[in-house]
Amino acid sequence: MSQRSCLSVILAAGEGTRMKSAMPKVLHAIAGLPMVAHVVKAAEAAGETGLALVIGHGADEMKKAAQKFAPKAETFVQDKRLGTAHAVLAAREAISKGYDDILVMFGDTPLIDAGALAAARQKLAEGAAVAVIGFRPPNPTGYGRLVEKGGRLVAIREEKDCSEEEKKIGFCNAGMMAVAGKHALRLLDKVGNSNAKGEFYLTDIVEIAGAEGLDVVATEASFESALGINNRAELAEAEGIWQGRRRREAMLSGVTLIAPETVYFSHDTEIGADTIVEPNVWFGPGVKIASGARIHAFSHIEGATIASNCDVGPFARLRPGADLKQKAKVGNFCEVKQATIEEGAKVNHLTYIGDARVGAGANLGAGTITCNYDGYSKFFTDIGEGAFVGSNSSLVAPLTIGKGGYIASGSVITESVPDDALAFGRARQKTLPGKGRELRERFASAAAAKKRVAE
């Protein structure tokens, strides 16, 4: 089958009115990735060699989004919604190119397993003209039933048309199917619209192919894989299923999740073995973590790279561009953005580091802030190897603190500091005996006067 070409036709033209959203339904995300992009990834894993996206509602928005998750896809617009067969035929130009296999999928089934798609393709390789993907829901009510005889699929019967015996069938239509490329257009063109809705149904090709004496079979996917998303409650359900799968995968690969149900991954999270993740941690897109790191509770990490044996959190926020080298530490209530924390450097608590480099072995005290933005432009702060920045210091960029530099606590540093120098950036303390009592008396008098006026 590896030598067979395959076009994946993904139907993504639905308006998704039950989502109650101005955004096209299939662009709503699971694990930080549009649900239709999950379908694209499954198609790629199943060996597709061509991709056609059939779009409609929000076509411009869909085309723009597709440039990110499917840049090589051909897009076709279904101007009128006249049924699933009509939607597939919107991609006639792509289908006519002579692919061996045509996979038809839906953009709102983000959990579809590549193995289920590959199994359907395998049936085509074995000689079937059509392979319909079915599933067994806990309750089949409302689903079309797959009617089989002698190992062949003879019909897809909508529930309203089922006999009492057929209603007992638990094997249901998932909507997805594989069609042999040499038969696809002919079968699709034979689909009529003589039904109550006047629409062209893809499911009709089962009986059309059977009437031609072609082999039509059904394959089976898990219920979860076939789950379609129609509203935000189902979206949340699918998110939960995806997260459960990913957590298990992470743990089986050597990652410790102390409270798995509280950890949330993104579609592209990479995390090495022997990493320990404490409860209530959220990984946004673009996170790469090497082995042996420890991510403490309530940390929020996005677009960050964390090397081996780093220590992060609790209550840390790593934003895009944060790059932690080996054994670096970013502690509680710290935020790092677009900054490199070199090997063994410590950013321990209550600190913001943005647009900066913190040299190897440097230590930043509590309350250190890189003042990197003047309201118009960003500026860089370079902190040298082994430097020490005292607590409650503000580093006003652009700025360089040399290797081994020492910044006194409470300083506002506006000029670069040479290697091994000590810098103070604060006013000399002045003590006025009795002035505290005088201020209290004055403030108390003013407050009393204000109260009398109010009365």
Q: Which residues are marked as active site?
A: 349
- Helix 114-125 / helix 35-45 crossing angle, nearest 10 deg: 40
Joined tokens for residue 10? 């993904």
For CA atoms 158, 213, 220, 121, the dihedral sign is negative
Q: SS3 of 167, please?
A: helix
- Specify the residue for token string 């929020």: 300
d(CA 419, CA 402): 4
d(CA 108, CA 73): 17
For the residues of 317-350, what is the DSSP string, one character each?
EE-TT-EE-TT-EE-TT-EEEEEEE-TT-EE-SS
Q: Are 351 and 367 in contact (CB under 8 A)?
A: yes
Instruction: Give me the residues paired with residue 218 across strands.
Output: 132
d(CA 201, CA 176): 13
Q: Which helix (H) or strand (E) holds 184?
A: helix 181-189
Whether the upstream peptide bond of residue 314 has omega within 30° of 0, thus cis, is: yes
Q: Tally helices (H) and strands (E) across the chain.
A: 9, 35
d(CA 314, CA 331): 6
Q: ∠ at Cα 343 (333, 358), nearest 5°?
A: 60
Q: Are 43 and 10 in contact (CB under 8 A)?
A: yes
d(CA 220, CA 173): 9
Residue type at 351? T
d(CA 255, CA 274): 5
Q: Which helix (H) or strand (E) holds 317?
A: strand 317-318
Residue 165: how many CB atoms within 10 A of its CB?
A: 8
Q: Are 55 and 46 in contact (CB under 8 A)?
A: no
Instruction: Give me the residues paired with residue 162 across strands.
Output: none
For the residues of 384-401, what is the DSSP string, one character each?
-TT-EE-SS-EEESSEEE
Residue 149: how many CB atoms within 10 A of its CB?
A: 9
Q: Are 335 and 317 in contact (CB under 8 A)?
A: yes
